[in-house]
């Protein structure tokens, strides 16, 4: 039985690995965009009806402007990569929502929300381009689908462990289960999330450069974010995000490549 379970996991991994058009990497992905997008679009629509969307203000217009430039940059970048069809099913929207939380997000398919609470930190178009470019990059790199797939695999692994320890005492099973949960979370899931964040930072820098913004401003924005967050908080190895110092150091190292790529692709006009 255990042999067949392991064989099933291996087969699923082989089938589920696909090359992401924007990163060129082989990624674990059990969920296709054709499955994700309808749910994403419905969730976005529901969210907008349940929250206050800000329209007509200078801030709302700025979100629309920056969003449209990031969209154009993404399209231009995918054409450069020879993947012009990759965005054909995207249905781009950029909404400013009244919420004190310092946050923004992009659902699969280009559905973007910026919370008003982050505007004092973004301060200007470049700061907003840093945030929106980063969030769009999560969608372009299929990070949502990858996290869903990793969670499914983690669950399957737990089932295999349960089958393997089924003949042992309840106490032993509980110990193995707890160790597996903590081990996969700290050793696999959290590093996986942090790598997603770094990848989104890299793509986001490229998008904002192609959109006509200075990638150096991303360092300034994340420095403001670090100051805004106050205390050090959760240790990096226990967090889904890199530490502020790690992120800023990574950004500084990635900026020259982003600028070089933008020169090759061309800046959105």
Q: Where are the domains of the chain?
A: 26-146+189-265
pLDDT of residue 15: 45
DSSP 25: -
Pick the catalytic residue: 135, 155, 185, 197? Answer: 135
Gyration radius from the chain CA atoms: 20
Q: How many CB atoms lie within 10 A of CB 163?
A: 14
Instruction: Tell me the DSSP string of 215-244.
Output: THHHHHHHHHHHHHH-S--S-GGGSSS--H
- 3-class secondary structure, 114: strand
**Residues of the chain scoring pLDDT < 50:** 1-15, 154, 156-162, 173-192, 231-239
pTM of the model: 0.75
Residue 135 designated active-site = yes
Sheet containing strand 104-107, edge to edge, reads 53-54, 93-97, 111-115, 104-107
Q: What percent of the chain lies above the pLDDT cut of 70?
A: 67
The pair of structure tokens assigned to 224 is 């403001």
The pair of structure tokens assigned to 46 is 């529901």
The pair of structure tokens assigned to 88 is 């054909």
């Amino acid at each position: 039985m255990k042999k067949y379970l392991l064989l099933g996991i291996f087969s699923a991994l082989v089938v589920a690995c696909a090359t992401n058009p924007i990163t060129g990497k082989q990624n674990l992905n059990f969920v296709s965009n054709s499955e994700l997008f309808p749910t994403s679009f419905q969730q976005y629509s529901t969210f907008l009806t349940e929250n206050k969307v800000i329209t007509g203000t200078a801030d709302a217009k700025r979100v629309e402007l920056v969003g449209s430039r990031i969209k154009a940059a993404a399209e231009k970048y995918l054409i450069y990569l020879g993947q012009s069809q990759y965005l054909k099913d995207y249905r781009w929207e950029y909404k400013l929502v009244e919420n004190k939380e310092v946050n923004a997000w992009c659902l699969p398919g280009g559905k973007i929300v910026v919370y008003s609470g982050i505007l004092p930190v973004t301060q200007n178009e470049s700061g907003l381009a840093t945030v929106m470019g980063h969030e769009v990059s999560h969608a372009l790199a299929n990070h949502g689908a990858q996290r869903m797939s990793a969670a499914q695999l983690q669950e399957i692994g737990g089932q295999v462990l349960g089958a393997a320890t089924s003949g042992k005492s309840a106490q032993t099973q509980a110990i193995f289960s707890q160790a597996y949960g903590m081990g996969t979370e700290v050793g696999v899931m959290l590093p996986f999330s942090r790598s997603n964040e770094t990848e989104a930072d890299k793509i986001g820098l490229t998008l904002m450069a192609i959109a006509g913004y200075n990638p150096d401003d991303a360092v300034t924005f994340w420095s403001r974010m670090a100051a805004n967050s106050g205390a050090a908080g959760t240790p990096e190895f226990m967090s889904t995000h890199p530490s502020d110092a790690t992120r800023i150091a990574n950004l500084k190292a990635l900026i020259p490549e982003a600028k070089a790529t933008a020169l090759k692709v061309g800046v959105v006009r």
